[in-house]
Structure 1
Amino acid sequence: MAAASGTNDLSSEMELDAFRRLFPLRFHERHLLESIRPDGRPLGAVASANGSALAKIGCTTMLAAIKLEVMTPTVEAPDEGCIAIDFHMPPICSPLIRPGKPAEVAPVISKQLSDTILRSGMIDLKELCLVSGKAAWMAYLDIYCLDADGALFDAALLSAVAAFSHLQIPVVSLNDDGRIVLVSEENGGSMKEKEPVNKEKIKLKMSSQPFSLTCILHKNYILADPTSEEESIMETYLTVVLDTNYQLASLNKPGGPGLASTSSIQDCIVLARKRVKELQQILGEAISDMEVD
């Protein structure tokens, strides 16, 4: 019986391998239906996070992860949760970053990300409320630069939007003491408890997602998605932020001599609109694949 079982297992493995070679797309789609990758990994970039994403622009690579914790809402906003954003540049991301010496650009990008995300209206903070005046979600978004090769803000913002799109709010309930607890902490809700605050994992409703495009302006040339080398030798660059309705959210020209011409700015906005259209499609397909049944 053992020998027969071993033969059957081998035969099944051979059939699976043949199916993977002949129909690779269908093979992966079958795993996506089970919210798992063929090698056993979950669909999210960080399994321990409530939402995560890995984003690349050129060689620049960003890993974003969101962890949710229950907080007491502020008196000024009793029906709202909060979002805290931190951008990190560990020494591994660039030979220019030295251990023990924080990158000077990191806090600048952190503030730029916070301003862009919170002002965009992408997330309604009221959706993070659990019990008015008593409990709400604090969303900690940490973005780690794994490879820094230019256009850092663009890649960081893209990873942030993707992570929030992937975010799933856990199932929680009120226990007998009136505390908010994760249902999993009470053995799947088997203990006595009040009606769950939310009966199943839910996704945040998102609107006006912001996307950005950084361009270097050099003589009559416009270089989109500049590398770190290009950024270091060409001084004038412009970052355009648009929402998903292709409306201009902000223009940022952090440095360089003189002012950018109106025609150059218009050309950058046209390029940014094309980028937003591409990213919407890519992000929509990626998030659709990551959705949990």
Structure 2
Amino acid sequence: MAAGYKTAEPLEYHRSFLKENCRPDGRELSEFRTTTLNIGSISTADGSALVKVGSTTVMCGIKVELANPTVEAPHKGYIVPNVDLPPLCSSRFRPGPPGEQAQAASQFMADIIESSEVIQTEDLCIEKGKLCWVVYCDLMCLDYDGNLLDACIIALLAALKNTQLPEVTINTETCAPAVNFEKRSGLRIHKHPISTSFCIFDDSILFVDPTVDEEMLSTAQLTVVMDEDDRLCSVHKPGGTSLSAEKLQECISRATTRHREIRKLIDKVAQSVKAAA
């Protein structure tokens, strides 16, 4: 009976739960789903991480390549994020070129990398004007049940912390680079941006970590990105219901608390992987 009601009247179905200040999956409005993290699970990548936020699952693999820096920025390398939403993760997505949501997620990741300075591209320069690193960050969603951006940010940050760059020297006579894969060093992580996503229901009810059903029924969505200095790196709100200053401050406060929880999780898992190596 409940399943039929949910299918026939999804909006009223959710409202019946919200009247009791809870959600269909049993969570309170301010409660996040269980978040789990695995680091270094792809042996062929230079860095990797697998993140689950509830059922939403994202894998991030890092590959590094040598390249020539641009003329405009001879002292900088590159960071190239890409988010893939294949049909295997949800029936909502179709084979073919990246859809609008995948493109928007990739651009969001690129914007956060730049605005937060998680990695400074100057650190990726090997020799000014001649050689630098390109860091490819491939994020694939394996199971989609809402809140994609939060899962992607956690996966990216954990994978970057797991990335090891091989030692590179340049022959002074031939100017050819020599790569020593036996000697590696980690990327320097300057900041730890972590996002917290919210949905607004019926123009007034605010809740965190939305499922895909909640996203589809919401009147607005919001993602707040904070770093470890409680600095607001980004507020991403793609249209929808406007948000009062009071509600926005509430979101920022919750995002600050969430940052500490996820940072603690990443550090704990990273340390256990390092200890086991």
TM-score, with structure 1 as normaliser: 0.76
Please tell me whether residue 137 in structure 1 is matched to residue 120 in structure 2.
no
Please tell me whether residue 170 in structure 1 is matched to residue 166 in structure 2.
yes
Distance 1:85 1:49 in 2: 15
Q: 1:264 aligns with which of 247, 262, 265?
A: 247
Distance 2:39 2:256 in 1: 29
Relative to structure 1, the CA distance from residue 233 to residue 43 in structure 2 (aligned partners, 3 Å threshold; closer, same or farther) is closer
How far the C-alpha of 1:96 sits from its partner, in A, is 1.1
User: Counterpart in 1 of 2:111?
Assistant: 115
Q: 1:182 aligns with which of 179, 183, 196?
A: 179
Distance 2:260 2:128 in 1: 37
Distance 2:245 2:97 in 1: 39
- 1:251-280 CA distance string (max 9 Å, x none): 1221323x1122211111111111100011
Distance 1:254 1:291 in 2: 39
User: Counterpart in 2 of 1:287?
Assistant: 270
Query: Which amino acid counterpart does residue 267 of structure 1 have in structure 2?
Result: E
Alignment partner of 1:255: what SS? coil
Does the 8 A contact of 2:195 with 2:225 survive in 1? yes
Q: 1:81 aligns with which of 67, 77, 81?
A: 77
Query: Which amino acid counterpart does residue 193 of structure 2 have in structure 1?
Result: P
User: Counterpart in 1 of 2:145?
Assistant: 149
Once the two structures are superposed, the pairs formed by residues 33-48 of structure 1 within 5 Å of their partners are 44-48=40-44
Alignment partner of 2:237: what SS? strand
- 1:232-268 CA distance string (max 9 Å, x none): 11122211111111111121221323x1122211111
Distance 1:225 1:43 in 2: 22
The percent identity for this pair of structures is 35
How far the C-alpha of 1:174 sits from its partner, in A, is 2.9
Q: Which runs of 4+ in 1 moved over 6 A?
A: none
Distance 2:273 2:167 in 1: 18
User: Counterpart in 1 of 2:225?
Assistant: 241
Relative to structure 1, the CA distance from residue 54 to residue 180 in structure 2 (aligned partners, 3 Å threshold; closer, same or farther) is same
Does the 8 A contact of 1:235 with 1:255 survive in 2? no
Does the 8 A contact of 1:241 with 1:250 survive in 2? yes
- RMSD of aligned residue pairs (Cα, Å): 1.9
How far the C-alpha of 1:91 sits from its partner, in A, is 0.6
Q: Which moved more, 1:122-131 or 1:217-226?
A: 217-226
TM-score, with structure 2 as normaliser: 0.80
Structure of greater Rg? 1
- 1:129-153 CA distance string (max 9 Å, x none): 1122211111111110111111111
How far the C-alpha of 1:43 sits from its partner, in A, is 5.7
Q: 1:52 aligns with which of 48, 53, 56?
A: 48
Alignment partner of 1:159: what SS? helix
Distance 2:117 2:98 in 1: 30
The number of residues matched between the two structures is 237
Distance 1:169 1:125 in 2: 14
Q: Structure 1 or 2: larger strand share?
A: 2
Does the 8 A contact of 1:58 with 1:225 survive in 2? no
